[in-house]
């Protein structure tokens, strides 16, 4: 094994592992995406809430500044410091918020929870000083916390004061981060559960595939009897059914192949034995014996050549180009067949009928099939017996509304009841067949030609006068899925 192949085996993963990894990756992406989306939305909402809270406090102070009265006198405020004092005494800040009064004459006062060190920071003093005249808001950092500071100027004759609202951004975002931290913990637990469940579910779903692999391994070792237990009703069940059907066909094909090899070996053994025996016994000095032995050997060689040719035809029957359909006038084909049949022997030949139709079929293969029928009829009849040949178009069924039927009938002894089914099998001969009449492949070839045309071969029931009638029925137009290549 090469280094590349070894590395590929080391880094390869099973289907179960790949499915689990894919589900885990998709779950991680979904959870991470959901977490980021929640964080972004909540952060935006928090910023909007902070801004709304600051605007509310500033708005309430502005309203008091324009319309409010001093509780002591019941008259409008005359002092900015007094206004700031009253406002702080009557308002409570929101969470993480501090209300501050920067009076013109006294020290800074505040309402809410705040770090005194932060209130005394130079950053805050500079910001308030910068916004004291025009107002506005800025973000500052004092110590380790960030604040947003909104300043509202308070003007009064001889006084220069300011109302300030501070909101602790770091504290608000810390709460959001705690929520996201909780989400991360829950997401990790969910991720672990989904991964474990995905692995278990993938293993369960792939169980038929593992059985399929194990069965295939046993088949590769030569055990064709193995089948997969079919359970459930899903795609894998359909796969198991299809695989079992394929195994049935393979087993039948191997059995047929073994039977064919046995039959071929049996059929070849006799002529080979004859050839060897005569070659061992021939007298090389006897010209007459050499001549007779040569004639016998040529006869046996011809028989083996015929066997090989028939086997080649049966082997080609499975190929898509076994038949080559073309448009053919059936009447011309039938008359040509009849002329060829009459040359096979001195019989009373009768043309029963000739179909008047144009069909898409392989004329050469149909001719081969009908001539095979005729050869059998000639072998089982004598001089003066009648042999009839004909064709017609007949109704069939829903799938093939019209079919062509070719037939060959004779007045010979007919087919014995016990041979009616076996005469279409390979290397099977009917009763009364002579050893030199062939190998029993003729009707098998006819059946292969009929199958290639999506047709069938029929042997009529015996009539009162004896004889046999073989019929070949094929569709008027060969179906595309069976026709193979046209030429």
Question: Can you give the residue ranges of every domain in the chain?
Answer: 19-175, 235-315, 322-483
Q: What is the pLDDT of residue 316?
A: 65
DSSP annotation of 418? G
In order of 45, 373, 486, the CA distances from 179 in angstroms are: 14, 90, 74
Residues in the chain, pLDDT under 70: 1-11, 232, 256-271, 274, 303, 306-307, 309-320, 396-401, 417-442, 465, 478-487
Coil, helix or strand at residue 192: helix
Nearest to 264 by CA among 275, 256, 253: 256
Q: What is the pLDDT of residue 114?
A: 73
Determine whether domain 322-483 maps to CATH 3.30.565.10. Answer: yes
CA 480 from centre of chain: 25
Collect all residues with Cβ–Cβ distance below 8 Å to 327 and sequence separation of at least 6: 358, 359, 360
**Residue 324 phi, psi (nearest 5):** -130, 90
CATH number of 19-175: 3.30.450
Could you please state the CATH topology (level 3) that the domain comprising 235-315 is classified under: Helix Hairpins (1.10.287)
Helix or strand holding residue 404 (H, E): strand 402-410
76 forms beta bridges with 69
Contact 421, 258 (CB under 8 A): no
Q: What is the pLDDT of residue 35?
A: 92
Q: What is the pLDDT of residue 481?
A: 44
Contact 103, 161 (CB under 8 A): yes
Tens-digit pLDDT profile for residues 184-220: 999 999 999 999 999 999 888 888 778 777 877 877 7
pTM of this structure? 0.50
Contact 183, 162 (CB under 8 A): no
Q: What is the pLDDT of residue 2?
A: 59
Q: What is the pLDDT of residue 483?
A: 39
- Nearest-angstrom CA–CA distance, 24 and 487: 56
Strand order in 145-156's β-sheet? 109-111, 97-102, 159-168, 145-156, 136-142
| Residue 381 CB neighbour total at 10 angstroms | 20
Measured distance between the N- and C-terminal CA atoms of the chain, rounded to whole angstroms: 47
């Amino acid at each position: 094994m090469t280094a590349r192949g070894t590395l590929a085996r080391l880094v390869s993963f099973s289907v179960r592992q790949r499915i689990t990894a894919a589900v885990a990756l998709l779950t991680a992406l979904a959870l991470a995406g959901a977490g980021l989306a929640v964080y972004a939305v909540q952060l935006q909402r928090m910023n909007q809430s902070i801004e709304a809270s600051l605007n509310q406090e500033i708005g309430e102070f502005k309203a008091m500044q324009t319309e409010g009265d001093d509780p002591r006198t019941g008259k409008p405020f005359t002092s900015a410091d007094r206004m700031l004092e009253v406002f702080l005494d009557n308002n409570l800040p929101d969470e993480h918020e501090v209300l501050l009064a920067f009076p013109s004459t006294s020290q800074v006062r505040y309402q809410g929870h705040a770090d005194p060190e932060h209130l005394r920071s130079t950053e805050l003093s500079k910001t308030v000083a910068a916004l004291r005249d025009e107002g506005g808001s800025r973000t500052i950092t004092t110590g380790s916390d960030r604040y947003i500071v909104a300043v509202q100027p308070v003007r009064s004759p001889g006084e220069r004061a300011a109302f300030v609202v501070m909101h602790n951004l770091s504290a608000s975002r810390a709460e959001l981060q705690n929520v996201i931290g909780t989400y991360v913990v829950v997401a990790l637990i969910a991720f672990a559960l989904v991964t474990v469940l995905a692995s278990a579910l993938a293993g369960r779903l792939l169980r038929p595939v593992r059985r399929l692999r194990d069965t295939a391994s046993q088949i590769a070792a030569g055990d064709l009897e193995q089948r997969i237990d079919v359970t459930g009703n899903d795609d894998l069940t359909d796969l198991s059914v299809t695989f079992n059907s394929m195994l049935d066909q393979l087993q039948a094909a191997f059995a047929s192949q073994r039977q064919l090899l046995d039959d071929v070996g049996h059929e070849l053994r006799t002529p080979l034995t004859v050839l060897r025996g005569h070659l061992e016994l021939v007298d090389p000095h006897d010209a007459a014996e050499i001549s007779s032995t040569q004639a016998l050997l040529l006869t046996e060689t011809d028989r083996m050549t015929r066997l090989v040719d028939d086997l080649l035809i049966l082997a080609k029957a499975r190929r898509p180009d076994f038949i080559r359909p073309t448009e053919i006038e059936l009447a011309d084909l039938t008359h040509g067949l009849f002329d060829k049949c009459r040359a096979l022997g001195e019989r009373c030949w009768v043309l029963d009928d000739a179909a008047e139709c144009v069909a898409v079929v392989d004329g050469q293969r149909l001719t081969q099939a009908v001539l095979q029928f005729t050869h059998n009829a000639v072998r089982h009849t004598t001089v003066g017996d009648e042999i009839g040949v004909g064709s017609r178009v007949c109704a069939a069924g829903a799938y093939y509304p019209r079919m062509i039927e070719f037939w060959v009938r004779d007045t010979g002894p007919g087919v014995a009841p016990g041979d009616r089914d076996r005469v279409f099998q390979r290397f099977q001969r009917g009763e009364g067949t002579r050893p030199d009449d062939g190998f029993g492949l003729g009707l098998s070839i006819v059946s292969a030609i009929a199958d290639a045309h999506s047709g069938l071969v029929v042997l009529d029931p015996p009539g009162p006068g004896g004889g046999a009638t073989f019929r070949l029925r094929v569709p008027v137009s060969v179906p595309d899925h069976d026709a193979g290549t046209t030429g």
